[in-house]
Homo-oligomer: A and B are copies of this chain.
């Protein structure tokens, strides 16, 4: 019997396990494409509802991509985390195409983790550099 069938696989260890579980993420059309404790990925096809006053991706949505993808990376160890702080530097922006966010683990401590969110356009141009700390709430 496989580890997976025995329930030994952590709860949020693949994109499928998130389906229907995070309303804000689905409502805003974010697609979880990779789940890993080292580096996860989310993709967003820019649609009209994603846009700010200037017709580009709203900064809040860029933050949301980074917060979500780094949270996925944190939780891929099977524990629960809440975000403590996020610092976002906005470097460029797009009005169409696909935005790709990667959540990279920088340091996994016992109670806190430090992660980086890298948000790029489909040509690999850096849109935002994000640093996010999270706190583990699993006892």
Contact = CB atoms under 8 A, between A and B. Distances in A.
A72 to B, nearest CB: 10
A60 interface: yes
Interface of A: 18, 21-25, 27-28, 48-54, 58-61, 63-68, 71, 82-91, 106-107, 109, 112, 114, 126, 129, 131, 133
B133 A114 contact: no
Contact of A59 (B52, B59, B86, B90): B86
B131 A60 contact: no
Nearest 7 pairs of A and B residues by beta carbon = A60-B64, A63-B63, A24-B58, A27-B49, A87-B87, A23-B51, A59-B67
Contacts of A25: 52, 58
B22 A52 contact: yes
Contact of A107 (B53, B91, B112, B131): B91
A89 B60 contact: no
A85 B88 contact: yes
Nearest to A84: B90
A116 B77 CA distance: 27
A83 to B, nearest CB: 5
